Structure 1
Amino acid sequence: MTVMAERTSSQMSVAEFERIAEFAARESEAVRFEFIDGRIGVKKVTNGNHGAIIMWLIRQCMQARPELDLNPTQGLKVEAYRRGRARPDGVLAPVAHFAGQGDWADTHGVLMAVEITSYDSDTHNRDRVEKPRAYAEAGIPVYLLIDRDNLSILVHSDPDLEDGYRDIHVVRLGGKVTLPDPVSIELDTEDLKQYVD
């Protein structure tokens, strides 16, 4: 579950957010923090099916493109001017791309960000509205959303800094989907149907 704190007139700085997120990470592994559109998001650690989906996707990416890593823990500096901080469910980049970059890496060189919807009240706003806009503003070429609520796979591509992603391709869960360049991976999502609960 994600809880978003509304913006106030004295908005928190990115440095203040990073200190809070670092402290929380030391104290508990039960939540992850994000800072998008000037709001703090508290993201609960995922359930088994959520984790099974990301592990399935890691295997698919490794088989198709062994020169790439799908990192399920890397935080990113997102939004225009890198004023936001996101923790995608997966970040596709060249092997060892994030070495030495710390908790919040720049998005230069990232090929794809991945999110898997959670069964909470904020998933629509977070995964379908805020994250696509933030990832497009950061110039990430592909955003893959595995939408368990709507039993679909959404492939966002052709990012625009002002308008978000200009191309969104939707496939029913269980179908085949091609992730466009620079990812260039075809996925048969039939196996994912067992993890939608």
Structure 2
Amino acid sequence: MTTAHDYSEGIDPERALKYAVQHHNGDRTEIVEGVITNVTPSWDHERAAKIVRRQIEDRVDELDCVEGSGNLDLPGSSNWYVPDIAVVPEQLALRGGALVPDQTLLVVDVTSESNAETDRVVKRKRYAEYGAPLYLLVDRVEETVTVFAEPGRLGYTKVDGPHPFGTPVRLPEPFGIDLDTSGLRPGAAR
């Protein structure tokens, strides 16, 4: 009598899932709490990210960093995030591959109708747990901007906001700049 071989022996499900997402061709893909999601931002979503990116890029250069939407791995969990913007030291960016949230200086997520609650609750909690020092949430659904700082295992201990679009929002050090959020209002020309 022959028995079927159990191919699951020695396979790490987290590694297998993350490997599949990393080697997926096409659009950006992330894993949120074990659920694979294609990231397909709309043009108005991209516009909001661009407004933030343009305001931070000079300071990012001064800090010898790069900003982009590279992959962030959350080891030991079934999470693989693709933030709208992450600011990382240039030396780490040159290595290639995914980084972990505590290697960032800032993570920015821009909400959409389909992912607003995930960005507000799940990602905020996970970014804090994995040590992302600053999390900027641009909530297009609520039309607010919130800065989360001082991460810990139970979440961020310092919250600045939510501030309605149009309110200047201070990004703390190492940025030390005020973001003009007026251009984030729907219909605002930029």
TM-score, normalised on structure 1?
Answer: 0.79
Q: Which moved more, 1:145-154 or 1:40-49?
A: 40-49
- Provide Cα deviations, 1:120-177, integer angstroms capped at 9, x if missing partner: 2x421x101110111001111110000011110011111112x111122111111100
- Equivalent in the alignment of 2:158: 167
CA displacement at 1:96 relative to structure 2: 4.7
Kindly indicate whether the alpha-carbon contact (under 8 Å) linking 1:33 and 1:40 is maintained by their aligned counterparts in 2: no
Aligned pair partner of 1:106 in 100, 104, 111: 100
Q: Distance in 1 between matches of 2:110 and 2:101?
A: 19
Kindly indicate whether the alpha-carbon contact (under 8 Å) linking 2:111 and 2:119 is maintained by their aligned counterparts in 1: yes
Aligned pair partner of 2:72 in 76, 82, 86: 76
CA displacement at 1:82 relative to structure 2: 6.2
- Equivalent in the alignment of 1:13: 13
Aligned pair partner of 1:91 in 86, 91, 94: 86
SS of the residue aligned with 1:181? coil
Structural mapping, 1:10-159, within 5 Å: 13-24=13-24, 26=25, 28-29=26-27, 32-37=28-33, 39-67=34-62, 68-72=65-69, 74-78=70-74, 81=76, 84-102=79-97, 104-120=98-114, 122-124=115-117, 126-159=118-151
RMSD: 2.1
Kindly indicate whether the alpha-carbon contact (under 8 Å) linking 2:116 and 2:141 is maintained by their aligned counterparts in 1: no
Kindly indicate whether the alpha-carbon contact (under 8 Å) linking 1:34 and 1:43 is maintained by their aligned counterparts in 2: yes
Cα 1:129–1:141, aligned 2, differ >3 Å: closer, same or farther? same
- Provide Cα deviations, 1:67-101, integer angstroms capped at 9, x if missing partner: 332212x111227x566311111101223531223
Kindly indicate whether the alpha-carbon contact (under 8 Å) linking 1:50 and 1:195 is maintained by their aligned counterparts in 2: no
Q: Distance in 1 between matches of 2:113 and 2:102?
A: 31
Q: Distance in 2 between matches of 1:193 and 1:150?
A: 11
Q: Distance in 2 between matches of 1:43 and 1:154?
A: 25
Q: Distance in 1 between matches of 2:53 and 2:59?
A: 10
Kindly indicate whether the alpha-carbon contact (under 8 Å) linking 2:60 and 2:67 is maintained by their aligned counterparts in 1: no
CA displacement at 1:109 relative to structure 2: 3.1
Q: Distance in 2 between matches of 1:66 and 1:181?
A: 14
Q: Which runs of 5+ in 2 are unaligned?
A: 1-11
Q: Which runs of 5+ in 1 are unaligned?
A: 1-11
1:154 maps to a residue whose letter is T
Deviation >3 Å, runs of 4+: none
Cα 1:192–1:131, aligned 2, differ >3 Å: closer, same or farther? same
- Equivalent in the alignment of 1:8: none
2:106 maps to a residue whose letter is M
SS of the residue aligned with 2:45? helix
Higher RCO (C-alpha under 8 Å, 6+ residues apart): 1
TM-score, normalised on structure 2?
Answer: 0.81
